[in-house]
Amino acid sequence: PRGERAELEDYKRSGYSRGHMAPAGDMPTPTAMAQSFSLANMVPQDIQHNGGAWAKIEQDTRRYIRRAKGDVFVITGPVFTPESPRIGNNGVGVPAYLFKLVYDQHDNRAWAHWQENREGERVGRPITYEELVKRTGVEFLPRLVVSQLN
């Protein structure tokens, strides 16, 4: 319902871009690409970060998937803190961090990119799956998979 979800108006003059969690460039069909522009697939993201470090992570992930020998699963998400600001009349939460978890089923490897949602953030070395779980408190992969990670 209105008032309980993000609206385009919330982003206007907020200083944040509408950062895709599932990038439009990853969509296999025009219909899927159009659906990726739903605000349910977006979070407020620092403009410079969205077009800079985060865009590089998205491109690098795409390149990796093209070279992979099997299925690769990607989970992207926001991480909020009690201090996370809010924007717009609907109080849309601005994540303090964004992550992108990559799991290569064929090679049985997993890693994550962890980024602060701020201007000037640079692409750093990926963190381990275990570190992502520690930082978020969420087990993203089934225990069987985790016990066999390389």
pLDDT in tens, 15-56: 999 999 999 999 999 999 999 999 999 999 999 999 999 999
- CA distance readout (Å), 44 to 26, 49, 53, 103, 115: 20, 11, 15, 25, 14
Structural domain including 88 reads: 8-147
CATH number, residue 79: 3.40.570.10
Structure tokens at 66: 């093209």
Domain membership flag for residue 78: yes
Domain membership flag for residue 112: yes
Write out pLDDT tens, residues 55-88. Answer: 999 999 999 999 999 999 999 999 999 999 999 9
What sign does the CA torsion over 91, 94, 96, 100 have? positive
Q: Are strands 109-116 and 127-128 parallel, antiparallel or unpaired?
A: antiparallel
| Cα 38 from chain centroid (whole Å) | 15
pLDDT for 100 equals: 98
Tell which residue, 149, 105, 108, has the closest CA to residue 130.
149
pLDDT for 144 equals: 64
Distance CA 14, CA 76 (A): 23
pTM of model > 0.85: yes
pLDDT for 150 equals: 67
Domain membership flag for residue 63: yes
| Cα 149 from chain centroid (whole Å) | 22
Task: Work out how many domains the chain is built from and give that number.
Answer: 1
pLDDT for 115 equals: 98
Domain membership flag for residue 1: no
Write out pLDDT tens, residues 92-134. Answer: 999 999 999 999 999 999 999 999 999 999 999 999 999 999 9
Which residues contact residue 137 at a Cβ distance below 8 angstroms, ignoring those fewer than 6 apart? none
Reported as a pLDDT band with limits 50, 70 and 90, residue 142 is: confident
pLDDT of residue 3 exceeding 80: no
Domain membership flag for residue 3: no
Active-site positions read 20
The full length of the chain comes to 150
Q: What is the largest CA-CA distance in the chain?
A: 47
